[in-house]
């Protein structure tokens, strides 16, 4: 009997302990969950900020084009001949007037000897004619021979000594020294002027009214190693539209002193067509779904709905919703909860 009572007592004690444990576990879980929520709420998000301030906003149109060499030319003699000297290589920079090739000068030397004799005879005849000691017809005959020989010498010189007409880069070389040049439109040497470059555009009748000769325009260039804004100058605007396209041909000249730009690079010209002065603006990245987060009490990001006006590549005009000098979040605001505590970075 006593043994039976003892067994019942042990069983009751065990059940009570199990029940106590079962009741205690949910409480601990709830306590841990509450602690976790507090820890999550204390997480501070990193943001970058800027200031709402007044500035001038410019509305623009973008016109695409392709950079090209300002000038390029093929250089070579008018007639075939043997190449005596070719002192430039592909990639060499040459100055205007610099000798880039010399042809065999045997014919030039012979003709120069003959010309020296004709020139001496002409000068003697001129003196006699001016002193009325030589008939006019005889002087004119000698003068004609002199002029013909002079032009021949000039032609031979042009075909023997080839010079660069402008500064540029050697971009092609057709022969080697000692080879026979057969002539042709490709020439011996190709010179390309890379500074400046040109940008030929076709403007519609709405855009052309905002550009004029001598005007500076901002340019952005694909593939350019320097991301800074480039500037070009309008060289000309055709006053008459093309009969077929109804577009106005326009040329922009782009300085390229460091030769970082290359012909073939795509470029975008920004033509200003309107502007607003002294208007409240924020960086465009500050706006997320027509809302802006402003910093309150030093580190609390508060959401404000705003009304925007003009929006450019960089800035947005604010018509209502925030005030001048408000500190606005421009980075880290995509998934930022309202009233979040933040860490402001650079």
CATH for 61-68+194-274 is 2.40.30.170
Record: fold of 77-187 = OB fold (Dihydrolipoamide Acetyltransferase, E2P) (2.40.50)
User: d(Cα 200, Cα 257) in Å, to the nearest integer?
Assistant: 19
Q: The pTM is what?
A: 0.61
Ranges of each domain in the chain: 45-57+277-345, 61-68+194-274, 77-187
**What pLDDT is stored for residue 311 in this prediction?**
92
Task: Give the span between the Cα atoms of 306 and 321, in whole angstroms.
Answer: 4
With a CB cutoff of 8 Å and minimum separation 6, the contacts of 103 are 77, 81, 82, 83, 84, 159, 160, 161, 162, 181
CA atoms within 13 A on the CB side of 117: 5
Report the alpha-carbon distance of residue 315 to residue 284 in Å, rounded.
4
282 against 27, higher pLDDT = 282
Give the number of other CB atoms < 10 A from CB of residue 250. Answer: 25
- pLDDT of 246 > 80? The answer is yes
pLDDT reported for residue 181:
86
Tens-digit pLDDT profile for residues 258-279: 989 999 999 999 999 898 999 9
Return the half-sphere exposure (C-beta side, CA atoms, 13 A cut-off) of residue 138: 12
Which of these ranges, 174-183, 196-205, 213-222, 290-299, has the smallest mean pLDDT? 174-183
Tell the residue number behind the tokens 């010189």, with chain if given.
157
Question: Which residues, listed in sequence order, are joined to residue 74 by a DSSP beta bridge?
Answer: 190
Percent pLDDT > 90 in the chain is 64
- Does residue 6 have a pLDDT over 50? no
- Return phi, psi of residue 84, to 5°: -85, -40
Which residues are registered as beta bridge partners of 248? 203
Closest CA to 258 of 217, 216, 214, 228: 228
Radius of gyration of the chain (CA): 42
**Any idea what DSSP says for residue 208?**
G
Q: In whole angstroms, what is the distance from residue 231 CA to residue 214 CA?
A: 12
345 forms beta bridges with 48
Q: CATH says 45-57+277-345 is which class?
A: mainly beta
**What dihedral angle (degrees, nearest 10) is formed by the CA atoms of 280, 283, 289, 293?**
-80
Q: What is the DSSP letter of 97?
A: T
Question: What is the residue-wise DSSP string for 231-297?
Answer: EEEEEEE-SS--TTT--EEEEEEE--TT----TT-EEEEEEEEEEEEEEEEEEGGG-BTTEEEEEET
User: Do the domains at 45-57+277-345 and 61-68+194-274 have one common CATH topology?
Assistant: no
Burial of 277 (0-12, 13-18, 19+ CB in 10 A): exposed
Mean pLDDT in residue range 46-51: 95
CA 159/CA 274 separation, integer angstroms = 55
Which of 32-36, 165-169, 264-268, 293-297 shows the lowest per-residue confidence on average (mean pLDDT)?
32-36
């Amino acid at each position: 009997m006593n043994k039976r009572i003892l067994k019942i007592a042990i069983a009751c004690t065990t059940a009570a302990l199990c029940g106590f444990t079962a009741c205690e576990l949910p409480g601990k879980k709830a306590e841990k969950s509450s602690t976790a929520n507090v820890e999550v709420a204390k997480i501070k998000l990193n943001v970058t900020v800027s200031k709402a301030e007044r500035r001038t906003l410019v509305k623009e149109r973008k016109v695409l084009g392709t950079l090209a060499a300002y000038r390029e030319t093929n250089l070579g003699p008018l007639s075939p001949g043997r190449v005596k000297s070719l002192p430039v290589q592909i990639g060499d920079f040459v100055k205007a007037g610099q000798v880039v090739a010399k042809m065999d000068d045997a014919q030039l030397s012979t003709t120069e000897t003959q010309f020296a004799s004709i020139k001496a005879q002409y000068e003697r005849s001129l003196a006699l004619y001016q002193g009325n000691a030589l008939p006019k017809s005889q002087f004119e005959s000698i003068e004609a021979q002199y002029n013909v020989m002079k032009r021949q010498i000039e032609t031979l010189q042009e075909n023997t000594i080839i010079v660069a007409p402008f500064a540029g880069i050697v971009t092609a070389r057709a022969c080697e020294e000692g080879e026979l040049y057969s002539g042709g439109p490709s020439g011996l040497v190709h010179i390309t002027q890379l500074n400046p470059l040109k940008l030929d555009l076709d403007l519609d009748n709405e855009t052309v009214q905002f550009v004029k000769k001598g005007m500076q325009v901002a340019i952005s260039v694909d593939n350019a190693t320097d991301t800074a804004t480039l500037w070009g100058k309008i060289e000309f605007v055709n006053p008459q539209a093309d009969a077929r396209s109804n577009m106005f041909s326009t040329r922009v000249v782009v300085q390229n002193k460091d030769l970082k730009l290359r012909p073939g690079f795509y470029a975008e010209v920004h033509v200003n067509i309107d502007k607003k002065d002294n208007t409240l603006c924020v960086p465009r990245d500050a706006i997320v779904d027509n809302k802006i987060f402003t910093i309150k009490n030093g580190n609390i990001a508060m959401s404000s709905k705003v009304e925007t006006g003009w929006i450019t590549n960089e800035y947005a005009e604010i018509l209502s919703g925030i005030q001048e000098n408000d500190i606005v979040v421009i980075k880290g605001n995509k998934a930022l909860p309202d009233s979040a505590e933040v860490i402001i970075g650079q």
